[in-house]
Amino acid sequence: MNLWTRLYDYWKSITDSSFVFARELRRIFTDPGVILIFFVATLAYPFIYKVMYWNERIANIPVAVVDLSHSVESRDFLHKWNATPDVRLTHTCASMAEAEELLRNQKVHGIIYFPQDYAYQLADPLGKAHISLYCDMSSFLYMKGVYLSCNMVMLESMRNIQIDRYEDMGYDKEFAWALVQDAPYTETALFTPTGGYASFLIPAILVLILHQTMLMGIGMLAGTAREEEDKTIYRIIGKRRSLGVMRLVSGRALAYFVVYYALAAILLGFMPRLLGIPHIGDIGDILRFNVPYILACVFFAMTISIFVHERESGLVLLISTSLVFFFLAGVSWPKEMMPDIWKSLAYLLPYTFGAHGFIHMNSMGATLEQVEWEYVALWQQALWYFIVYSIFTYVASKWSEKKLNPFS
């Protein structure tokens, strides 16, 4: 083989791949169902989630008060508690039964109860007073808001009581202060100072939207091709089958990659700024991280699409994966608490690495070097799914010529 034939071969493989690439782009842009999933859903969902979690945090949770001590001390406590942003004391009840009724009817989401001896115990230099707090457990955020704010007020009141007691014992005030506040502390929420729900959830959702719309859209394209007995997804161009497979797979993957790289730039680069959620990452690093993420997602979705035989069945089968993948990634439910088997399963999904990598960069300001582990893992996934899908295409094209293709 002389130099010219070889050069011609290279040229041919480029033109063939470009042909497949253009054909796949045409299929994407002429299919209304795919356009709906690829573009409309992808761009609309971030806004919907932003609107749903607009307020970022839950404030003024209604709480009922049962105060049997009727004391200055209890009133003082309640006054301080009511001043916190988390709760609002909406009902004062004469008995626990009355307050429980309110909780059952969801008028309040917490009850605070002062026993009769509350003030008496506080006045006793050796006494220990108790407050009972009842939290509505129907949502984690109710419990967190009621419990943590009450705990904070309790700690502050406790300090004041301690100081009073030491003063009564004859220590001077300064010493009492030093004793009580021996270890003052500052607490700082790093990276996302508002600590809001949207700031936490939306970055993970943005990454998931890309993953899932790709999964469903590519599944739909593969299903359509099989249904219409359009063999283009495994008909080989050129003489050597192995080279043909490369041209076919790379041409199609490039079409998806181009479309989704643009979408990822919008969703992961621009959307956090537009929606006003934390974005302290370096945009260049995020764009570079997107390359293996989108590639891994493309080849993962293509591999899953092997099992989609019909245009619509992919949607029916894959819909519940969104929730499973979201939990599996270990963003909302910490990975430290997951059984090993699910941790291993999570490593098969591009979303797991994509979500952590993006959150570390976008929300915590990590550099690309700091997310190296995720970055490398995504390149490996891209490679593995590429190999798996290429083998499949090779086999399918062989069978399709012998007319025994079980995948059509």
* Residues 239-298 within binding reach of other proteins (CB under 8 A): 278
Least spacing, CB of residue 402 vs other proteins, in Å: 25
Residue 85 — φ and ψ, nearest 5°? -70, -20
Least spacing, CB of residue 220 vs other proteins, in Å: 8
The dihedral through the CA atoms of 386, 392, 396, 398 has a sign that is positive
Nearest to 380 by CA among 357, 404, 355, 349: 349
Q: Which residues contact 376 (CB under 8 A, 6 or more apart)?
A: none
Least spacing, CB of residue 62 vs other proteins, in Å: 8
Pairwise CA distance, residues 367 & 212, whole Å: 26
Q: Of the two residues 24 and 86, which places its CB atom closer to other proteins in the complex?
A: 86
Assigned token pair, 162: 């301690």
Q: Tokens 């301080």 correspond to what residue? A: 80
Least spacing, CB of residue 121 vs other proteins, in Å: 8
Q: Of the two residues 129 and 253, which places its CB atom closer to other proteins in the complex?
A: 129
Q: Which residues contact 282 (CB under 8 A, 6 or more apart)?
A: 361, 367, 368
Nearest to 21 by CA among 229, 226, 241, 248: 248
Least spacing, CB of residue 385 vs other proteins, in Å: 21
* Residues 336-395 within binding reach of other proteins (CB under 8 A): 336-339, 341-342, 356, 359-360, 363-366, 370-371, 373
* Residues 160-179 within binding reach of other proteins (CB under 8 A): 161-162, 165-166, 175, 178-179
* Residues 201-240 within binding reach of other proteins (CB under 8 A): 201, 203, 216, 220
* Residues 6-35 within binding reach of other proteins (CB under 8 A): 33
* Residues 50-89 within binding reach of other proteins (CB under 8 A): 51-55, 57-59, 61
| Among 3, 5, 10, 185, interactor with other proteins by CB under 8 A | 185
Pairwise CA distance, residues 304 & 233, whole Å: 14
Q: Which stretch binds other proteins (CB under 8 A): 15-23, 185-193, 261-269, 383-391?
A: 185-193
Q: Which stretch binds other proteins (CB under 8 A): 20-28, 49-57, 79-87, 248-256?
A: 49-57
Q: Tokens 């955020």 correspond to what residue? A: 141
| Among 250, 290, 305, 322, interactor with other proteins by CB under 8 A | 322
Contact pattern from residue 108 through residue 147 relative to other proteins, giving x for each residue in contact according to CB under 8 A and a dash for the rest: --------------x---xxxxxxxxxxxxxxxxxxx--x
Tell me the three-class secondary structure of 218-268, residue by residue. Answer: HHHHHHHHHHCCCHHHCCCCCCCHHHHHHHHHHHHHHHHHHHHHHHHHHHH
Assigned token pair, 23: 């054909």
Least spacing, CB of residue 279 vs other proteins, in Å: 12
Report yes or no: 118 and 74 within 8 Å, Cβ to Cβ. yes
Least spacing, CB of residue 399 vs other proteins, in Å: 20
Q: Of the two residues 122 and 302, which places its CB atom closer to other proteins in the complex?
A: 122
| Among 4, 97, 186, 403, interactor with other proteins by CB under 8 A | 186
Q: Which stretch binds other proteins (CB under 8 A): 8-16, 262-270, 334-342, 383-391?
A: 334-342
What string of DSSP letters covers 108-119?
-SEEEEE-TTHH
| 43 belongs to the binding site for other proteins (CB under 8 A) | no
Q: Of the two residues 231 and 343, which places its CB atom closer to other proteins in the complex?
A: 343
Contact pattern from residue 295 through residue 314 relative to other proteins, giving x for each residue in contact according to CB under 8 A and a dash for the rest: ----------------xxx-
Assigned token pair, 133: 């707090």
Q: Of the two residues 247 and 279, which places its CB atom closer to other proteins in the complex?
A: 279
Pairwise CA distance, residues 99 & 135, whole Å: 12
Pairwise CA distance, residues 124 & 73, whole Å: 13
Pairwise CA distance, residues 379 & 249, whole Å: 17
Number of residues binding to other proteins, judged by CB under 8 A: 110
Least spacing, CB of residue 189 vs other proteins, in Å: 5
Strand order of the β-sheet with 110-114 is: 87-93, 61-67, 110-114
> Where are the extended beta strands (E) located within 30-115?
61-67, 87-93, 110-114
Report yes or no: 290 and 331 within 8 Å, Cβ to Cβ. no
